[in-house]
């Protein structure tokens, strides 16, 4: 099993879904965790024993001062930074002709610009600890799907940001990897505007579109994130790893 005793991890998007599962997994494996999200009440539900092992930071990752706020809170609470997990993300539907500038900019702002800015702010502190970054991308970054143009493009950009940062920072001792989940049971699609009946049908269809016959669970994604962040993956960098029940292997259907 992994051990993160004495280490500190920042996890964005920690108020729900994959981010919340990841924050809790780090705590179970001994880390100090800086849980970042906009929903302060949901963040408060992430608890540790002792409570001093978790720091809740209510922040909008797209805000101009968010990177400094998050990094400063981390150093003030725990004095070091070992892992950054960029799990905050949003989705929106729409083909090119129906995607307006506002939707496009929101996808890029949250899914690409925010991770880029936080990685940049965190780098000096990760360098001191030979730390690492794990970005939460999507199978949509590896494969094209109709009707989600901005989302697919943003995740493909995040994948390439991961690879570029891995090359930039390899000689400085900082690893950068990404996970690419398939359909995972979270609030992502509901927050993106999908109605309950449509979401139920979407999950049912996922049983057919994923070769393993079901959607994923956030804890499964969190397990891979912890592996990539651990010393067990010390010779891995620049990887974008599908964890999608085989979805990326299939033709469009």
pLDDT digits (tens, 9 = 90+) for 138-168: 999 999 999 999 999 999 999 999 999 999 9
Show the DSSP H helices in 79-145 as ranges: 101-108, 114-129, 139-142
Q: 67: alpha, beta or left, given left = phi > 0 and alpha = psi -120 to 50?
A: alpha
Lowest model confidence (mean pLDDT) among 60-69, 195-204, 235-244: 195-204
Examine residue 1 and state whether it is found in any structural domain, yes or no. Answer: no
Residue 199 has pLDDT above 90, yes or no: no
Residue 57 has pLDDT above 70, yes or no: yes
Question: Over the chain, what is the mean pLDDT?
Answer: 95
**Residue 87, CA distances (Å) to 25, 121, 172, 179, 208 in order:** 14, 16, 24, 10, 26
Cβ-defined contacts of 164-168 (< 8 Å, 24+):
165/119, 165/133, 166/237, 166/238, 167/238
Examine residue 223 and state whether it is found in any structural domain, yes or no. Answer: yes
Residue 191 has pLDDT above 90, yes or no: no
CATH number of the domain where residue 12 is located: 3.40.50.720
Examine residue 250 and state whether it is found in any structural domain, yes or no. Answer: no
Mean pLDDT (whole number) for 8-20: 97
Mean pLDDT (whole number) for 171-189: 92
Joined together, the tokens standing for residue 92 give 């929106």
Residue 73 has pLDDT above 70, yes or no: yes
SS3 90: coil
230 DSSP 8-state letter: S
Domain count along the chain: 1
58 DSSP 8-state letter: E
Q: Whole-model pTM?
A: 0.95
Examine residue 163 and state whether it is found in any structural domain, yes or no. Answer: yes
**Among candidate residues 53, 201, 171, 65, the one with its CA nearest the CA of residue 121:** 65
Mean pLDDT (whole number) for 38-42: 93
Residue 192 has pLDDT above 90, yes or no: no
Domain residues for 104? 8-243
**Residue 201, CA distances (Å) to 18, 194, 212, 248, 253 in order:** 21, 11, 18, 20, 15
Q: If pLDDT is split at 50, 70 and 90, which confidence band does 23 have?
A: very high
Examine residue 71 and state whether it is found in any structural domain, yes or no. Answer: yes
Mean pLDDT (whole number) for 101-126: 98
Residue 190 has pLDDT above 90, yes or no: no
Residue 227 has pLDDT above 70, yes or no: yes
Examine residue 248 and state whether it is found in any structural domain, yes or no. Answer: no
pLDDT the model gives residue 252 = 65
**Residue 161, CA distances (Å) to 61, 136, 235 in order:** 17, 12, 19
- The CA distance from 142 to 182, in Å, is 10
The whole-angstrom distance between residue 165's C-alpha and the CA centroid of its chain comes to 16
- The CA distance from 154 to 89, in Å, is 10
Mean pLDDT (whole number) for 131-137: 98
pLDDT the model gives residue 193 = 72
Share of the chain above pLDDT 90, in %: 89
Is cis: bond before 100, omega within 30 of 0? no
Q: Which residues are catalytic?
A: 151
Three-point CA angle 192, 121, 82, nearest 5°: 90
Examine residue 2 and state whether it is found in any structural domain, yes or no. Answer: no
Residue 51 has pLDDT above 70, yes or no: yes
Examine residue 194 and state whether it is found in any structural domain, yes or no. Answer: yes
pLDDT the model gives residue 200 = 85
């Amino acid at each position: 099993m992994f051990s993160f005793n004495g280490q500190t991890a920042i996890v964005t998007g920690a108020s729900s879904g994959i981010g919340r599962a990841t924050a809790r997994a780090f705590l179970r494996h001994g880390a100090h965790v800086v849980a970042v999200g906009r929903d302060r009440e949901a963040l408060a539900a992430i608890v540790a024993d002792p409570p001093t092992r978790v720091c809740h930071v209510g922040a909008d990752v797209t805000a101009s001062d968010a990177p400094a706020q998050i990094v400063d809170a981390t150093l003030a609470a725990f004095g070091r930074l070992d892992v950054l997990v960029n799990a905050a993300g949003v989705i929106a539907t729409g083909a090119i002709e129906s995607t307006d500038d506002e939707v496009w900019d929101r996808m890029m702002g949250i899914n690409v610009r925010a991770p880029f800015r936080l990685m940049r702010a965190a780098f000096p502190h990760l360098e001191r600890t030979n730390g690492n970054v794990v970005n939460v991308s999507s199978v949509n970054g590896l494969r094209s799907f109709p009707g989600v143009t901005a989302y697919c493009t943003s995740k493909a950009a995040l994948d390439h940001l991961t690879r570029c940062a891995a090359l930039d920072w390899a000689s400085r001792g900082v690893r950068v990897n990404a996970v690419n989940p398939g359909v995972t049971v979270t609030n992502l699609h509901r927050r993106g505007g999908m109605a309950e009946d449509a979401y139920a049908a979407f999950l049912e269809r996922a049983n057919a579109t994923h070769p393993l016959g079901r959607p994923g669970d956030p804890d499964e994604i969190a397990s891979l994130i912890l592996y990539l962040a651990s010393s067990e993956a010390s010779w891995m960098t620049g990887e974008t790893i599908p964890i999608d029940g085989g979805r990326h292997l299939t033709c469009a259907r």
